[in-house]
Structure 1
């Protein structure tokens, strides 16, 4: 039987460092009451060129923290304030982007002195858009799954089913300790995230009997949430990482697995490995893959590379080195030494999530070809970031996205061997 007796908790002080078997029980018997007519979920119609169900999807990082998406002193036409971000969101959805991802920081980090909170910022963007789905980043520890489940269910109702979550297990020790949260070991952080996601799903989908869960980090007994989210079975759940722990979570509980930039072998290994883990438990068809990529779109490859070199040449060296020390220390604590930044060099880390490695740098034709290669490997969503948000989002939407759709209609992006022959050399290990 699951443990249902509430335990006294103080943050994560009651966690068990020793692995303990977790049991859960989700009560789903009994019909749910009919939703009022005003809560009927009718997804917004996508733009005409986003009708193919097998299309690659596009998202962008929301710059809701200061400093942009590079740790560089290069001038950027990007702002972290809400009015600017509303413009970026409207531009994005008008030009074919279907997702946006807000960032979560509770305190200043490397190059990001100011930060707007992710869930409230996501709701503000959703209030000002019609089709865009916004992914709110959530950090287990500071948040309890009951609070998140309630917030997201309400926002889902307000916005006609356009909210999702990204569960971030955490790499920034100072972010936890500065607000009185225990800094768990790597495997324990991911085990907590696994419970967190299972709790979210259970709360969102439980029937009339309510949700009961006996875990090492979270406990519920006969918990009822109303109203439920409009999206069925529940809002989409994203999570990422490169360690065995992250890959297991991707296979076991999340809907989407985020990957950092990588080389060709790295992408293929991650996708094949997570799929194999998911297949063992019958979830191979339930996990989709997303990749981070920093876009530098110019009229020539030479011009784009010059911009990249300027970004890296003007890197905030002190901030990049501090970031490198923090993330590589976190990665070294993993069982397989495969943290997200285990193989990242200084110039890679100028972009937080190894976005330069994804090679979306060049002409519209080069970038489109590389996106289709990623699609052929199993990537369904490309998460983009830009130097000058307002103009670069629009340029990407006007030039690259329609070209990708045209090439998809011609049958491109399905044959990995063919796509590798066309453009795979750019992804070989350096």
Structure 2
């Protein structure tokens, strides 16, 4: 268990549906919309419900229901303008972005809305997307090396008065960014479940996102990354993906899950499966985020069903605590009907989690 997991309240984030198609590859009704007005209202609901972060997605090409995609940084700025406490994480893809553009964009947003903007560095897994937009496709290790340089440059530009860097992908000579972002500086998130992803997070990232998993599975990842982080004298916190189906009864929740899978779009899921398996097999260990994912798992993009946040509020709260004990600091959550389900989660689940945390803290004092 990480120290932060043991002592700090678990934090909650939600996937911003700034991409059409919802968060499952299924024909089931999803009362969720990718548009601006829906997402502005959702951000206000999430803030009121007790969520700490919102994560915008970055897509450049259609696929798997994502015909429409709003750009992440601009969309994040809009959500910040309609909230007062919520932190918004903008996804950035090295290649289309370079570090100086990102550093300047995020610094300006920090001054406009206060230090509530963060970034998620996405190394990329979909070769077809890179080809479509004319970006070179690097191999697995090179993509993570580039992302690491990107993070080092972002942090250096934000921290140092005059930044100099000579890497394989980026070079800076005595560069001075003014104004710097407001303090505290923007947090840097990254994702991935491969060895290269964990190693990178252990060296440079503030937060590490991983795909949905059981408490036992995520505990192994946490142990690996935290051991490596300590060796690097670095601190990193852990975020875990999950898909929530909270209903009054377990039977109702399981019925929703069954309907999602029955109504899955098989061609789209198999296409997604083909691409992610190719991406994983390109890693030196021949694995990746979706190495052990079944067809049913892949109906939810990031293995969210594996986290098993499906049932009554009490069941979900207890499972959340098990994940916290495994070393998770933040849950990144997706829902079927975002506005209604986020409100329900905030009203019925988060208070139970906070009560369980208080009980454990009181027991530890005795």
- TM-score category by the smaller chain? over 0.9
Give me the whole-angstrom Cα distance separating, in 1, the residues matched to 2:183 and 2:272: 37
- Counterpart position of 1:426: none
Match status 1:335 vs 2:294: no
Distance 1:156 1:53, change over 3 A: farther
Tell me which of 297, 307, 328 is aligned to 1:358.
Answer: 307
Of structures 1 and 2, the larger Rg is shown by 1
Structure 1 runs of 4+ aligned residues shifted over 2 Å read 412-415
Give me the whole-angstrom Cα distance separating, in 1, the residues matched to 2:244 and 2:332: 10
- Counterpart position of 1:399: 348
- Counterpart position of 1:223: 175
1:13-61 CA distance string (max 9 Å, x none): xxxxxxxxxxxxxxxxxxxxxxxxxxxxxxxxxxxxxxx9710001100
Give me the whole-angstrom Cα distance separating, in 2, the residues matched to 1:95 and 1:170: 32
User: Partner of 2:199: helix, strand, or coil?
Assistant: helix
Deviation at 1:337, TM superposition (A): 2.0
Give me the whole-angstrom Cα distance separating, in 2, the residues matched to 1:224 and 1:413: 49
Give me the whole-angstrom Cα distance separating, in 2, the residues matched to 1:122 and 1:314: 31
Give me the whole-angstrom Cα distance separating, in 2, the residues matched to 1:412 and 1:100: 27
- Counterpart position of 1:211: 163
What does residue range 28-427 of structure 1 map to in structure 2 within 5 Å?
54-207=8-161, 210-232=162-184, 234-283=185-234, 286-411=235-360
Deviation at 1:413, TM superposition (A): 11
User: Partner of 1:217: helix, strand, or coil?
Assistant: coil
Give me the whole-angstrom Cα distance separating, in 2, the residues matched to 1:149 and 1:101: 18
Give the CA RMSD over aligned residues.
Answer: 1.4
Higher helix share: 2
Gaps of 5+ in 1: 1-51, 416-430
Deviation at 1:355, TM superposition (A): 0.2
Give me the whole-angstrom Cα distance separating, in 1, the residues matched to 2:362 and 2:102: 37
Give me the whole-angstrom Cα distance separating, in 1, the residues matched to 2:151 and 2:114: 22
- Check whether the contact 1:238–1:254 (CA below 8 A) recurs between aligned residues: yes
Give me the whole-angstrom Cα distance separating, in 1, the residues matched to 2:108 and 2:70: 20
- Check whether the contact 2:216–2:326 (CA below 8 A) recurs between aligned residues: no
Distance 1:306 1:412, change over 3 A: farther
Gaps of 5+ in 2: 1-5
Deviation at 1:107, TM superposition (A): 1.2
Give me the whole-angstrom Cα distance separating, in 2, the residues matched to 1:309 and 1:278: 40
